[in-house]
Amino acid sequence: MSRLSALRGGKLVLASHNPGKLREFRALLAPLSVALVGADELGLPEPEESGSSFADNARIKALAAARASGLPALADDSGLAVAGLGGAPGIHSARWAGPEKDFTAAMRRLREELSDRSGGFEAADRRAAFVCALCLAWPDGEVREFEGRVEGEIVWPPRGEGGFGYDPVFVPEGEERTFAEMTAAEKAALSHRARAVAALLAAARADSPPS
């Protein structure tokens, strides 16, 4: 049995202190029947995210959590890449919210920077993508990596009370509602995290021995 398939029914650390992300991953990983615990529940520190890409940062966080806990750990590094901002905020998406994780301020900054660069928000190139890099790591340093991406556009003003982060200003392709206007199940069917987790689940199924 591979390490991926051996996760089924076991304990897995989510290398995040974000309760919204923990809830979302618990739902997404339900097919694996894992007991998912957050890094804060175990008192794990947050490592410095010094990578130059989403994949780099996910790997840093997953390996740090796995080694500190002695358990397999899953980390994602997710962010919003906006065409009119040259791909920003990108890997700095969370940092735009500051130490208080004020995403209302981060969304306001997004609108202001788009407006400033283009002579107004409506004239800006508001094409955007949410990107999620997933890294699953074990205490001995083995890793498996996956990626998910969803295209869409930025809207203003923010709409919806659900989700978290930049969800209220992001409308995915083919939809008229923002992620924050969708139910958790509707968002899960479309989101970048859902697509990255789907790749992980597909790999786990492929690695499972035939019954």
- Full set of structural domains in the chain with CATH: 3-207 (3.90.950.10)
The letter for the amino acid at 141 is G
Q: Tell me the C-alpha distance between 141 and 132, whole Å.
A: 21
The sign of the dihedral angle between the CA atoms of 31, 33, 39, 44 is: negative
> Phi and psi at residue 20, in whole multiples of 5°?
-65, -40
Q: Tell me the C-alpha distance between 139 and 142, whole Å.
A: 7
**Catalytic positions, please?**
77
> Phi and psi at residue 89, in whole multiples of 5°?
-75, -15
- Specify the 3-state DSSP secondary structure of 26: helix
Instruction: Tell me the per-residue pLDDT of 67-126, one tens digit each, with 9 for 90 and over.
Output: 999 999 999 998 999 999 999 999 999 899 999 989 999 999 999 999 999 889 999 999
Confidence bin at 5 (pLDDT 50/70/90): confident
Report how far apart, in Å, the C-alpha atoms of 27 and of each of 20, 132, 177 are: 11, 16, 21
* Structure tokens that stand for 180 in this block: 């924050």
Task: State the Cα angle at 201 between 197 and 207, rounded to 5°.
Answer: 145
pTM (2 d.p.) = 0.84
Confidence bin at 176 (pLDDT 50/70/90): very high
Q: Kind of pairing, strands 170-172 and 127-137? A: unpaired
Worst-scoring range by mean pLDDT, 95-109, 142-156, 167-181, 188-202? 188-202
Report, in angstroms and rounded to the nearest whole number, the Rg of the chain calculated over CA atoms: 17
CA 124 to chain centre: 25
Beta bridge partners of 130: 80, 150
Residue 201: name the closest of 37, 60, 30 by CA.
30
